[in-house]
Amino acid sequence: MRLDIGWLDLATAFACCVLPRRRTIAVRQARQSWNSQDDFLVTLSVRSAFDLLLRALQLPHGSEVLLSALTVPDMVRIVQMHGLVPVPVDTDQTGQIDASSLRRAISSQTRMVVVAHLFGGWMCLDEVLEIAHDHELLVVEDCAQSFRRVGDSAHSASDVAMFSFGPIKTASALGGAVARVRAPELRERMSELLQSDPIQSRTSFLLRLARFAALKLLSGNRTAALTRYCVTRLGGDFDALVNSVVRGFPTSGLLVHLRRQPSSPLLGLLERRWRSYEFGRIENRIRLGKFLDSRIGQEHTATHSYWVYPVFVHDPIAICERFQAAGFDATRQARMTVVPAVDDPRTPASAAAVWKHVVFLPWYPDMPHGAVDEMAGLIRPSDLRTGRCETAAEETRN
């Protein structure tokens, strides 16, 4: 993993932490650099925006919130912390939900469906929106993994769309998010609640900058290999260590951490990233992704931006070992989870089976073409699983 942020961005952000700046100006300039609409809020994170949405909606206790079966654990926790019930909607190998899984997951208690566009892909939402409309469900798009252009509104018919600029995201600002909210009354209620929240302190953002600057230093080719070697020799788990460092907020007291407005330096960094991000980086990532697809016989949709490159293999441990022996940092660990089932008929069998077989390849926009070619040479056609058919076969076997 490489942080998608430059040293100059970090240095400017450090300077913003110590130089005074009126907050109203920081808010206005950040908003203007996203887009000229007035239909969005800038929040501390996607999780903060999601919590804000649930605070504003005040759904009846015990209401069910459908979530794509693969998501980050905090999204599930936030639903539970509001006295609501998270229900998984099964996903396939590409992270997409299909109409039949969605229909199966809906009950008389369902009020909302949160669709995650995973791995850099974009789901076609037309059918989901139709079903949601029939059942009067709110549709929320979680675009945390799929940012592709500044000012994006995602699907015009969804109720809410959320974009993340957290540490490991495209055009990272080490935090911050945008939530586009279609209904003016809901947006107004969310905005009032947000303005009553405390503001993230400059010191806490400064410490965050320092933590990620250190991580950036350690994630260079040689330094990462050396750190992995040292951590492993000392009996530690390098992947677990990295995941704990990049995790945004501590699990204990999660809501207190989420319920803060972004600080002026964070708003300044968001503005800078949106104004000057080099979108050629995404194009480069797509070119590499398509090249790897062609080399190992994979396929992704035309709008995929290859934020990460997961492969689904029969023996993920063996593949990780093979990659590591060849000097590539492939990992099975991700910050995602399979949303637990609430009852038998709504078990996300496909997502659970898929997730056991995932390996994330090392992946970043300026990865040398030759390295991608070399990685392709390490994957044999017989290593790869082929998706739903195999999942169905596994289910039958079990």
- Judged by the rule CB under 6 A, the positions of this chain that interact with ligand PLP are 45-47, 71-72, 75, 116, 142, 144-145, 164, 166, 177, 248, 335
For residue 122, the minimal CB distance to ligand PLP (Å) is 13
Name the DSSP letter for residue 97: B
- Tell which residue, 121, 73, 128, has the closest CA to residue 98: 128
Name the DSSP letter for residue 167: T
Number of H helices and number of E strands within the chain? 17, 11
Whether residue 387 contacts residue 314, with contact meaning beta carbons closer than 8 Å, is answered with no
* Shorter beta-carbon distance to ligand PLP: residue 324 or 333: 333
For residue 162, the minimal CB distance to ligand PLP (Å) is 7
CA atoms within 13 A on the CB side of 398: 10
For residue 175, the minimal CB distance to ligand PLP (Å) is 7
Name the DSSP letter for residue 365: T
* Shorter beta-carbon distance to ligand PLP: residue 120 or 362: 120
Q: Is 382 exposed, middle or buried (0-12, 13-18, 19+ CB in 10 A)?
A: exposed
* Shorter beta-carbon distance to ligand PLP: residue 270 or 379: 270
* Shorter beta-carbon distance to ligand PLP: residue 118 or 384: 118
* Shorter beta-carbon distance to ligand PLP: residue 142 or 383: 142
For residue 86, the minimal CB distance to ligand PLP (Å) is 13
Whether residue 182 contacts residue 14, with contact meaning beta carbons closer than 8 Å, is answered with no
Rounded CA-CA distance 87/75 in Å is 12
In DSSP terms, 162 is beta-bridged to 142, 179
327-331, long-range: CB < 8 A, 24+ apart: 327/225, 328/361, 328/362, 328/371, 328/374, 328/375, 328/378, 329/224, 329/225, 329/228, 329/362, 330/359, 330/360, 330/361, 330/362, 331/239, 331/359, 331/360
For residue 360, the minimal CB distance to ligand PLP (Å) is 13
For residue 188, the minimal CB distance to ligand PLP (Å) is 23
For residue 128, the minimal CB distance to ligand PLP (Å) is 16
Q: Which residue has the tokens 């079903």?
A: 131
* Shorter beta-carbon distance to ligand PLP: residue 118 or 330: 118
For residue 233, the minimal CB distance to ligand PLP (Å) is 30
* Shorter beta-carbon distance to ligand PLP: residue 46 or 372: 46
Q: Which residue has the tokens 């979108």?
A: 279
Kindly report the backbone phi and psi dihedral angles of residue 305, in degrees, each rounded to the nearest multiple of 5, phi listed first: -115, 10
* Shorter beta-carbon distance to ligand PLP: residue 116 or 224: 116
Helix 202-218 vs helix 221-233: crossing angle, to nearest 10:
90
In DSSP terms, 52 is beta-bridged to none
Q: Where are the alpha helices (DSSP H) in the chain?
A: 7-18, 23-34, 46-57, 73-81, 99-105, 126-134, 184-195, 202-218, 221-233, 238-246, 254-258, 264-276, 280-296, 316-325, 349-355, 369-377, 388-397
* Shorter beta-carbon distance to ligand PLP: residue 142 or 329: 142
* Shorter beta-carbon distance to ligand PLP: residue 50 or 384: 50
For residue 116, the minimal CB distance to ligand PLP (Å) is 4
For residue 377, the minimal CB distance to ligand PLP (Å) is 30
